[in-house]
Every structure is written in structure tokens, then in C-alpha cells.
Amino acid sequence: MIKILIVEDEKPISDLIRINLSEAGYYCDCAFDGLSAAAMIDENKYDLILLDIMLPEADGYELMEYIRPQRIPVIFLTAKATVHDRVKGLKLGADDYLIKPFEIVELLARVEAVLRRYHVGQTVVEIGDVVVDTGSRMVKKENSEVQLTKKEYELLIFFIQNNNIALSRDTIYEKIWESDYMGDSRTVDLHVQRLRKKLGWENLVTAVYKFGYRLEIDNEAVVETFR
């Protein structure tokens, strides 16, 4: 699910944005001042940040300096409609800006446009009867949803990205569990087994002797589309 951080100190505006983005299928977190926003950005992976300029603690411009190296797309929310402020925001690396008050349809359109530019959540991959939608994190087989755990899903995406490449257990472990491989190959094996079973991919995810696993799909059978 696409995660959006809303940094806005005016509660009614924050609520309005959160409710509408949630209804549109996005996951939203809210920060009401600059410092807690920075802390939340450190702890979470956001796909997009909506950033107010006038904020307590640290303002939107200061936060932008902090966010920019992390390459998270940003839309400024601003009541300041002057050319100077808009230019300043864009120069700091914002992707777009919205002038308050704004219509919800405009907010949604800009959010979608920025996410599309970053290809966030836009990919739909079809592999035989399995369809993976990275936007909704939905996986379907023969049109019915397959329930995958977070790790199983990440494993699936990692296999797809490395189709036809043998992946060692170490590499898989370090990528999916984001920590150093401690030699516990059972974790990887168990997850691969479950993924195979859920997708009916017993013959597609093959074991590489004393090494790891490989997803084996004819590249021509993989259809990738950007919505």
C-alpha cells in the first residue's frame, strides 16, 4: 500500500486530507510539527510527503532540506500564493505545490501525478495466471486474491526483479530481512516453500544446489504495465 505522510499543523486541514486520501486507498500518517515529521520520516518508508510550509518547530523549507537527500517526492501545501514562495519550494526540490484552500479533486490528481512520475505503485506484472499489482500490493491467481505475508510479498517481488538469476540464501535473507545473514537458512527455505505453494509455483521457483533459489520464467511470459 502506498504510504503518504501528511505534515500539516492545522488539524481540520490535516483531517480533511487524511480522510480523502484514505478513502482513495492510500495509507496516511500525520505529523503536526516539523520535528515529529523528521522523526517519522526516519522511522518509516514514505512514498510521498505532503508538506505544509508554516509549521511549529521546523518549517517546511527546513524539512525539505532534510527530505531531499532521501529522494522522497514532496508536494508543498501552501497558503502563500506569492510567486516567490512557489519558486522557493520548487527550487528546494519539491515536485509540486498546492495552494490552500484547494479542492480535493485537485489534491488527488496531483498526488497521482507525482506518484506516477516516480513510478510508485504503478506496476502491474502478469506472470501466467498470477497478477501482481505493486500499487495495491495485491496478488491474484486465476482472479482470486492470494494472501501473502509482508515477507512473502517482498520475496515475490525480489524474485520477479531477478527473474532467471540464481539468488543465494544470503542475498535473499539480507535483502528481505534487512539484516546480516546469520546462517539460518530455514527462514529463507520456509518462506520460499510457502510462496511456491500459495502461487502454485513449485516448478517455477527452483532450488539451486547448495546455493539458493531461482525464479525461472520465460521473459516473454512476463507482462509489465505502468498504469
The minimum distance between CB 10 and Ca ion, in angstroms, equals 6
Q: Which of 7, 37, 52, 167 binds Ca ion (CB under 5 A)?
A: 52
Q: Does 54 bind Ca ion (CB under 5 A)?
A: yes
Which DSSP string corresponds to 30-70?
A: EESSHHHHHHHHHHS--SEEEEESS-SSS-HHHHHHHHGGG
| Stretch near Ca ion under the rule CB under 5 A, chosen from 24-32, 49-57, 119-127, 137-145 | 49-57
Nearer to Ca ion, 84 or 210 (CB): 84
Q: Is 9 in the site for Ca ion (CB under 5 A)?
A: yes
In contact, 89 and 98? CB cutoff 8 Å: no
Contact status: 124 vs Ca ion (CB under 5 A): no
Burial class (CB within 10 angstroms; exposed 0-12, middle 13-18, buried 19+) of 63: buried
Least distance (Å) between residue 24 CB and Ca ion: 23
152 binding Ca ion? (CB under 5 A)? no
CB nearer Ca ion, residue 9 or residue 96: 9
- Residue 161: its H or E element: helix 150-161
For residue 125 the three cell numbers come to 506484472
Contact positions toward Ca ion, by CB under 5 A?
9, 52, 54
